[in-house]
């Protein structure tokens, strides 16, 4: 919980206790159970309200940010995959005295290859999955695109 939420819970608890004292009721037995139940409900309400506020803030941010970023990443991944196919063909029959061409992903990630000596290094273009923001049963992903 954030500080504001903690402060509201504390204020609510102080008010509940003050109300019990003002009414001249001793906090024992049944009344003590009631006050504790009210305090617990106040804590639960504060947690509930805080969760809703944070959820709504995150939902708004996700709605604003995800789709354009997913589209940009999907477009970039598609262009890299297409370039990888060209590079693979070129690397099979290199011109004389030419060096092997590494993929854009290798260069960007500063890798020599997609194996670290013990295991394969996941390739972004092959392992990334981006769910479409607006779900459609026949087109559930922004990436990878259907072939």
pLDDT at 22: 64
Over range 29-44, report the average pLDDT: 86
Q: Which own/partner pairs from 63-71 qualify as long-range (CB within 8 Å, at least 24 positions apart)?
A: 66/133, 67/133, 67/134, 70/130, 70/131, 70/132, 70/133, 70/142, 70/143, 71/142
Q: What is the pTM of this model?
A: 0.67
Domain range summary for the chain, segments of one domain joined by +? 3-143
pLDDT at 19: 72
> What are the pLDDT digits (tens) for 46-102?
999 999 999 999 999 999 999 999 999 999 999 999 999 999 999 999 999 999 999
Range list of H helices, the chain: 3-22, 29-92, 104-109, 124-127
Q: Could you give the percent of the chain with pLDDT greater than 90?
A: 67
Contact predicate 31/69, CB 8 Å: no
Q: Which own/partner pairs from 80-83 qualify as long-range (CB within 8 Å, at least 24 positions apart)?
A: 80/104, 80/105, 80/124, 80/125, 81/125
Tell me the pLDDT band of 28, cut-offs 50, 70 and 90: low
Over range 22-39, report the average pLDDT: 73
Phi-psi region of 88 (alpha: psi -120 to 50; beta: other; left: phi over 0): alpha
């Amino acid at each position: 919980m954030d500080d504001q939420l903690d402060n509201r819970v504390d204020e609510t608890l102080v008010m509940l206790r003050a109300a019990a004292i003002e009414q001249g009721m001793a906090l024992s037995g049944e009344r003590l159970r009631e006050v504790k139940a009210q305090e617990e409900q106040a804590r639960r309400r504060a947690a509930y309200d805080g969760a809703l506020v944070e959820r709504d803030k995150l939902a708004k941010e996700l709605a604003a940010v995800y789709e354009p970023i997913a589209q940009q990443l999907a477009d970039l991944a598609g262009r890299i995959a297409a370039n990888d196919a060209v590079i693979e063909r070129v690397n099979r029959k290199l011109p004389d005295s030419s060096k092997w061409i590494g993929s854009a992903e290798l260069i960007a990630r500063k890798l020599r290859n997609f194996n670290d000596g013990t295991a394969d290094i996941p390739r972004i273009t092959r392992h990334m999955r981006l769910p479409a923001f607006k779900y459609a049963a026949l087109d559930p992903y922004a990436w990878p695109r259907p072939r």
